[in-house]
Structure 1
Amino acid sequence: MSFHHAQQIEALNERLSSLKDINVSFEFFPPNSETMEQTLWQSIERLAPLKPKFVSVTYGANSGVRDRTHSVIERIHQQTDLQAAPHLTLVDASDEELRQLARQYWQQGVRHIVALRGDVPDGQPNPNRYAADLVRLLKQEHDFEISVAAYPEVHPEASCGQSDLVNLKRKVDAGATRAITQFFFDIEAYLRFRDRCAATGIDVEIVPGILPVTNYQQLLKFSQFAKVRVPNWLHHMFDGLEDDAATRKLVGANVAIEMSKVLAKEGVSDFHFYTLNRAELSYAICHALGVRSGLN
């Protein structure tokens, strides 16, 4: 290793060891079985001491899943000190239903909502209602803190990157507090997107959404659905590990830690982790970023 290279690594480690103001948040989904229920609560217990800014709970379009989202939110409120932020989508509910949900959440003590349009069911026409409309509606009801979605590699339905940015600006102008990105592996794409947001006058934090990967096949499915580019280097990292879950976990943690370190070096101070209801990888990444129980 050259002296210059060693100096660079030393400088990076020095920079990371002095990071003091890293904020993290975690996303969970409502469990659909007894086993997943146990896994979820073990994960919440494991991650809670890291004092995340908030934890979000995803939301299915049908009312059964919606009820499960409510009960997870309630239990987090009752049993932990965490701020729980439910996801809310507008495609499957009328404005009046959404207003009632907003009031119900406020009464329960919820002060933060992740506002999404939601996926339009196959075969149904575009409802011409957008996340910006939901943000506006929520703000009319109460002064919620509101997170919205952002797409560094362009929303799958957007006609182009520019219209996607215009849409994000609408959400922010309607009162959104922050934007959380879809997961990505191309760091340059995120940094370019952040610059374009700033140039468009979007002045909220663009929080990178980090997906720690252990199952490469599952990742390919997610990526195809979300139109996220999977770089060749990532493919090579997991090549040949189809039957080796332990090594996949180590590789997945390493990839996410390296990505997070580079982002931190680029001035990112807030990270959102798509945990898939598992704690180990997110916990390890937080540790590497200096986010530790009792310290922050």
Structure 2
Amino acid sequence: MTTPNHDQIQWFAQTFNQLVANVERAVVGKTHVIRLAMTCLVSEGHLLLEDFPGTGKTSLARAMAQTLHGKQTRIQFTPDLLPSDVTGVTIYDQGTQRFTFHQGPIFANIVLADEINRASPKTQSALLEVMEESQVTIDGETHLVGRPFMVIATQNPIEQAGTYRLPEAQLDRFLMKTSLGYPDHESTVKILAQPPHARGGLVVDPIIPTDHVASMIDYAANVHVDHAILVYVSELAQATRSAPDVVLGCSVRAGLALVRAARTWALAAGRSYVIPDDIKTLAVPVLAHRMVLDPEEEFRGATTESVLERILGQLPAPQERVA
């Protein structure tokens, strides 16, 4: 693997910032969350957005899909949704006397899985293979979904009625989990000033073809990660597993996900190497949803985010980068 050269780094950072600015036209005042979402896309990961209704979760996912010159689909998850409604189904054609596969909405570059936790666990499990391996197996035949491929799932907080908790195996398929939160006062005024026809969210123009995204993915995969950074990530994962208030800590797959996302984050900042601050910035969105706290500690008000922040504050970071 060859580390990206100066021109490639500049092109990547410029294109990344253009993508973020384009999406921010529809999702005002949420630059950091949009950068996280774009990092997910370029890192070949998936994004889970959890927040209360009306905070712009669907608008962010829709704007992400519109930014690409690619295929986009939307799946509204409901309790009666079947796995075949997501992945597709094989149907017997009497004319040709053959079984033909009819693709489901999962076959797209950007898939918006709206309110994913409203569907039954059986339907949720239909996403496990495609999110991990970018393929769907139906009746023994494997069908690739293409590249790039990203699932942006939204869910309401678990306290709301009519929802099913995502199992740990499903949560682990998401590279990041984050929330938008309510906009600040200035951003709220801008949103309220939008014309009535934009009530469903502003439509943004596509600015990049899918093959350019594939090039960005390849460049990000070759960003240098020093041995000291890898040791730091390993120690961080180990610290989550040994924390007294954590029942389930971060796995090796979680560490791999953090390194993968850090490569993209570094290149978007105009660097061909990862620094400790990249790891610290991404640790909570990448790792927090993969952890399970002790129920008693959770009852006392502890959160996975607060536990991670505490661990990051106690764990010494590498001080130098060895070339």
The TM-score with structure 1 as length reference comes to: 0.30
Bigger Cα Rg = 2
Q: TM-score scaled by structure 2? A: 0.29
